[in-house]
Amino acid sequence: MEIERRWLVNGWPELESSSVIFMDQGYFATRPAVRVRREALEGGPCQYIVCFKGKGGLVREEIELPVTEAQYQALAGMLNGPMIQKEQRRYPLPGGLTLEVNQVDKDLDTGFFYAEVEFPDEETAQAWTPPTELTAYLSRETTGQPGESMAAYWARTRHSCE
């Protein structure tokens, strides 16, 4: 289960990041979302993941399965569009939460930034307010809004996979 809130943001926040992850991801389907992704922690190893995401906004089913590099390469070769390129920076927040800020397709005209915070339960997610220093930065919430997912971005900018 994934419980997260999401915002469109402008650039990186003025905070110290705890980690940087580079990602390539592509979609086989967008409703429900089925994607393949490579994650490389800066200075660390790569992970290869196939992910299934159900319908929903704040709360939705999510199943992630590890695959080998060879399986990832084979799956990536089946996609009908180029991979989405992402850089994700993670920032610790009070209460043990993490702000994940993503720069998507920075070299393309369609590129943008978005932020997410994952929560342990729905009640915590609904009650959460950003720390004062992030109030203006996290002012454009898109949680649950149609067309504001990475799968929807894929459908808009790559070949449709529906």
User: What pLDDT does 31 receive?
Assistant: 86
Say yes or no to pLDDT of 135 above 60.
Answer: yes
Pick the closest to residue 75 from 132, 115, 44, 37 (CA basis): 37
Mean pLDDT of 137-159: 91
Q: What's the pLDDT at 138?
A: 98
Could you tell me the residue ranges of all domains in the chain?
Answer: 2-157
**Confidence label for 161 from pLDDT (cuts 50, 70 and 90):** very low
DSSP one-letter code for 31: T
pLDDT band at 160 (very low <50, low <70, confident <90, very high): low
Residue 100 above 90 pLDDT? yes
Long-range pairs, 94-102, Cβ under 8 A, ≥24: 94/131, 97/128, 98/18, 99/13, 99/15, 99/134, 101/9, 101/12, 101/13
Provide mean pLDDT across the span 74-85: 95
Of 84, 33, 36, residue with least CA distance to 60:
33
Q: What is the mean pLDDT of residues 42-70?
A: 94
- In order, the DSSP letters of 67-112 are --HHHHHHHHHT-SSPPEEEEEEEEE-GGG-EEEEEEE-TTSTT-E
Q: Under a CB-based contact definition with an 8 Å cutoff, are residues 30 and 152 in contact?
A: yes
Amino acid occupying residue 91: Y
What's the distance, Cα to Cα, between the start and end of the chain in Å? 23
Task: Considering the domain delimited by 2-157, tell me its CATH architecture.
Answer: Beta Barrel (2.40)
Please choose, from the candidates 103, 81, 78, the residue with its C-alpha nearest in 3D space to the C-alpha of residue 23: 103
Which of 124, 136, 113 is CA-nearest to residue 5? 124
Rounded to an integer, the average pLDDT of 109-135 is 96
Averaged pLDDT, 76-98: 96
